[in-house]
Structure 1
Amino acid sequence: MTSAEEVTGPVHLDALGPRGPYRTRVPSTVADVSGAEVARLSLVPPVYVGRALAALREAEAVPAADVDALLGAAGEEFATGTVGGLGVRAYEHLVSRTSGTPLTVVRAATRDTARFVALARTSAEQGRPRGAGAGLRDPSLGTGQAVWARRGEVFAVNASGNHPGVHRLWLEALALGYRVAVRPSRREPFTPHRLVAALHRAGVRQDQLVLLPTDHHTAGTLIHGADRTVVYGGDEVVARYARDPRVLPQGPGRSKILVTADTDWREHLDMIVGSVADEGGTACVNATAVFVEGDPAPLAEAVADRLSRLPGLPPQDARAVLPVCPLDRARALDSYLRSVAAGTRAWLGGDGVVDDLGDGSAVLRPAVHQVGDAGAVQLRAELPFPCVWVAPWSRADGTAALRDTLVLSALTRDRALVEALLAEPTIANVYVGGHPTYWMAPGVPHDSYLSDFLMRSKAVAGAL
């Protein structure tokens, strides 16, 4: 396979099972945003999933002493090596073409993912309670203390394909001793395939980490067969698994920005626009709503003016900054937006967001709408492109209007308000003073620490 940016002919993406690669005779087609076939993905049946999970359960954990070296080597291989026959530039080009994510975003994600991989154990350790030792050999462990222990042995990921960065988190489970099964998105399977293959090449055994592409029906076998599972999806996925303690649903982020009257939003316009449009506006950490104490119209107008200047280009163009999808899907999203936005004031996108590229695909252009109050139903609508709702906010609205938020960036000098935002259980993260909603760093919780879901503290008394 070539390492150049352009790849000729479809790429074969095999399942990576406990006994090595597995290729089906009738693979599933992976198409780019124009509908052209670019890869053939081997989908495994339920019986294969069951056998793979059994092998994971019987395997030993990656030795703790080897984890950092393995992760460091895998991160380097992922970012620079030829993995599965694909050089890094060819890989990035395919991700951009299939997911519609701008190439510059994919390239930045490659570098960031390598960094997160190398620091996965350190990041996982950040969630360990100070009173708990890492194991019986922890020198800080005395008589009558606690040990941090896994809640199970096998961890599964039912991944999404909206952004390569979703695959950074599950590395922490591997670092904590879980054996891991990853179900890639059929929309963008290249990132998890490359990452799993890079970890295998670095020394993680095939029976410790597997890649299991499946259809939607077989995904249930994976979810129910693992001890702990992260599942990505929309509101319906969150509702389906809300009562299952073994499943951690990752739904819409509905990230927000709050601007209070003591702050001049003009000084933070770059941050506000970036929060909406960075990463192509496709990530759960992109802002979908901005609340303004006072008149929201001037801010909405300024944001719309900035977003209107963004060019509409194919995703693999190095100048592209907006997401692209198949034309029929773009039209469906445009129709949905028009329906949802009824009764709002359109500053941008009111005449449509579809920019037809003429090859069966379309750019999703930005949209900015002003709503009448802080309780408007539109504020819960999250779309996979830069689409933001701008709303008035008052102290009487309080934190209730800001609930169900992955990231809230607060442009305010009001310490009491910030403390109230931190106290609100449904706001996962609070950034203050100009930090964009998309800011992330290794070791900093995304939606709490993943280890909160994977681990528990056990009391230990006595000595061996």
Structure 2
Amino acid sequence: MTAPHPEELVLDALGPSGPYRTRRRETVTDTTGEPVAELCLVPGLFVTRTLAALRAAAPPSREERLAALTRAARVFREDTVHGLSYDEYERTVARVSGIPLPAVRSAADEIADSARRPLAGSYGALPGGAVFDWGDPRTRTGAAVWTRRGEVLAVGAAGNHPAPHALWLEALALGYRVAVRPSRREPFTPHRLVAALRAAGFGDDHVALLPTDHAGADEVLRGADLSLVYGGDDIVHKYAADPTVLVQGPGRTKVLITEGADWRAHLDTLVDSIAHHGGVKCVNATAVLVEGDPAPVARAVAERLAALPSLPADDEKAVLPVQPVERARALERHLLERARGTTAHLGGDGVVEELSVGGAVLRPAVFEVPHLAGGWHTTELPFPCVWVAPWSRSDGTAPLRESLVVGVLAGDSRRDLELMDALVAEPTIANVHVGDHPTHWMDRGVPHDGYLGEFLMRTKTVIRGCVKGYTSP
């Protein structure tokens, strides 16, 4: 289904007094360069006033918040929102972002699931000895009460995939008011989600959408109590010393195969870890470290990945990402420059396949690297690109540090068990998946990169007498 013409589709800012249509706009194009929509950009003063309104608003009760989130899940998935049906929405996201249509659908499922059961994630961070509110009977003899660190959360949204929008819904469940600064690369998901939340019962002064330029983005973060920001290494370094900003940066997810593992029995899982959702997510494996000869692993993975089809992103069978030709060629040049000194098993002659309808598919790449010292294994690109490297026990966990996920295919020897202990203990590894579990495996009740609630909440001691007429918020 063709998305509406850009003259019909204008994405308004969603401020404390409702939709706000500005004169200053940015055209959103698809991967062929065709205009799809106009995104309204708000000035700094509008940002300041919106954040002030959010801070002044009182959060609904816990029961009201959870009920509204459940209603929002239905609106998001079933209703026509600001002129787009759900089918039009998902196809528009695929066309504009280049993310394969099945991956867009899966991400929408994640968002709706988070809205329906936000307690699974948000309350997963609740300390075992804490209570939800000060009116709990346990505070009569003294108890830890779980409380917000602030009132307003700003979200600098990701544009590479819709799924991260599932995370900040937990903040609403905890009583925060939320201001989302959408990515201008893919503003449709946050626009639809914020509109759905408002239609479901959250006030205009409880959740807002603030499209801005880069200067306005800084204003959004400065004006909030806490911020959740997505980006690359530059963003990580910019906010590394700021305790009010939680940065979701590159994943640099890896798989380690020890000599005791039968990796051929898990080849499906290994390939799925690399190519699931088009290889664009931070939980996709971008390096495979092999104890022993890495060549057989590289050859087997390359053979599987070479069979993936090149299709437009909005095709029902699409599995690879699509980008505008110029951007795809730039990524290809960067890849081939970075791959100097390696052995190409796939993608050595390039990864760009231009489509007759416009845009270009980013085909998979597999490179065998001679050693870990060159740092090839830390290179992360937004398509299925994997660096297969030799690893030895003397390397230890050092090459696996700074990884969102480490998948491990190992035997059951004592030294392999000791390796598991070391990987789980390593502070810079966020998740460890042992055995036949793809690196992209997630569940709402377990942390992705720690629980968001660890950042949003704190505990304080409350001891009280009997308070007549009190009802829990």
TM-score (normalizing by structure 2): 0.96
1:420 to 414, 422, 426: 422
Residues 358-367 or 449-458, more deviating: 358-367
Q: Please list, as runs of the form range in 1=range in 2, the aligned pairs for 1:440-459 lying within 5 A after superposition.
A: 440-459=442-461
User: How many Å separate the matches in 1 of 2:376 and 2:120?
Assistant: 40
Secondary structure in structure 1 of the residue aligned to 2:27: strand
Q: Within 5 Å, which residues of 2 pair with 1:86-97?
A: 86-97=84-95
- In structure 1, what is the Cα distance between the partners aligned to 2:87 and 2:312? 17
Residue 165 of structure 1: how far off its partner (Å):
0.1
2:53 pairs, out of 48, 51, 55, with: 55
- Cα offset, 1:360, TM superposition: 4.2
How far 1:333 moved relative to its partner?
0.3
Structure 1 SS opposite 2:394:
coil
Map of 1:58-137 to 2, 5 A cutoff? 58-137=56-135
Tell me how far apart the structure 2 counterparts of residues 275 and 106 of structure 1 sit (CA, whole Å). Answer: 17
* Structure 1: distance between partners of 2:137 and 2:79: 38
Would you say the 8 A contact 1:102–1:320 is kept in 2? yes
The equivalent residue for 1:377 is: 375
Q: Distance in 1 between matches of 2:39 and 2:65?
A: 29
Q: How many angstroms apart in 2 are the aligned matches of 1:322 and 1:439?
A: 19
Deviations 1:195-233 (A, max 9, x none): 111111110111000010111111000011111001111
> CA contact under 8 A between 2:24 and 2:42: conserved in structure 1?
no
Give the structure 1 partner of residue 471 of structure 2: none
Quote how far apart the aligned CAs of 1:415 are: 2.2
1:35-50 matches, within 5 Å, as 35-50=33-48
**Equivalent residue in structure 1 for 2:440, among 438, 441, 446:** 438
Name 2:194's counterpart in structure 1. 196
The Cα of 1:122 is off from its aligned counterpart by 3.1
Question: 1:8: which partner in 2?
Answer: 4
Given candidates 276, 279, 286, the residue that maps to 2:274 is: 276
Contact 2:191/2:209, CA 8 A, preserved across alignment: yes
Distance of 1:61 and 1:415 partners within structure 2: 48
8 Å contact from structure 1 (residues 291, 374) kept in 2: no
Rounded Cα–Cα distance in structure 2 between residues aligned with 1:318 and 1:302: 27
> For the residues of structure 1 that align with 2:306 and 2:257, how far apart are their CA atoms?
22
Q: Deviations over 1:403-455 (max 9, x none)?
A: 00001111123322111101000000111111111111112101000111111
Q: Does the CA-based 8 Å contact 1:74-1:199 persist in structure 2?
A: yes
What letter matches 1:74 in structure 2?
A
**Once the two structures are superposed, what CA deviation does each residue of 1:152-202 show, in whole Å capped at 9, x if it has no partner?**
111000011111101011001111111100011101001001111111111
Match of 1:260 among 238, 242, 258: 258
Q: CA offset at residue 359 of structure 1? A: 4.4
| 1:152 equivalent among 150, 153, 168 | 150
CA deviation vs aligned residue, 1:360-398 (integer Å, no higher than 9, x gap): 411000000011123331111100000000011111111
- The answer to whether the aligner puts 1:171 opposite 2:169 as a matched pair is yes
Counterpart amino acid of residue 155 in structure 1: L
The residue type paired with residue 103 of structure 1 is L
1:299-333 deviation per Cα after TM superposition (whole angstroms, max 9, x unaligned): 10000000001111110111110000010000100
**Number of residue pairs aligned between Structure 1 and Structure 2:** 460
Q: Secondary structure at the match of 1:332?
A: helix
> Which shows bigger deviation, 217-226 or 357-366?
357-366
User: Aligned equivalents of 2:39 and 2:64: distance in 1?
Assistant: 32
Unaligned runs of 5+ in 2: 468-473
- The whole-number CA distance in structure 2 between the counterparts of 1:65 and 1:140 is 21
Q: How far does residue 107 in structure 1 lie from its aligned partner after superposition?
A: 1.3
Distance in 2 between residues matched to 1:138 and 1:336, nearest whole Å: 57
Confirm or deny: 8 A CA contact 2:147 2:460 kept in the other structure.
Answer: yes
- SS of match in other structure, 2:221: helix
Q: Is the 8 A contact 1:101 1:280 kept in 2?
A: yes
Structure-1 separation of matches of 2:188 and 2:4: 16
SS of the residue corresponding to residue 126 of structure 1 reads helix
CA distance in 2, matches of 1:105, 1:384: 14
Q: CA deviation at 1:142?
A: 4.0
Contact 1:258–1:408 at 8 Å: present in 2 too? yes
Aligned partners of 2:381 and 2:334: how far apart in 1?
A: 10
- Note if 1:219 corresponds to 2:217: yes
CA distance in structure 2 between the partners assigned to 1:131 and 1:171 by the alignment: 25
The alignment's C-alpha RMSD in Å is 1.1
Alpha-carbon separation, structure 2, partners of 1:134 and 1:73: 23
Query: C-alpha deviations, 1:35-67, integer Å up to 9, x for none?
Result: 100011111010000000000000011321212
Distance 1:406 1:376 in 2: 21
Report how far residue 8 of structure 1 moved.
3.1
| Gap runs ≥5 in structure 1 | none
What residue number does 1:393 align with? 391
Q: 320, 323, 346: which is aligned to 1:322?
A: 320
For the residues of structure 2 that align with 1:456 and 1:375, how far apart are their CA atoms? 41
Report if the CA contact (8 A) 1:62-1:175 is conserved.
no
Amino acid at match of 1:185: S
SS state of the match for residue 155, structure 2?
Answer: strand
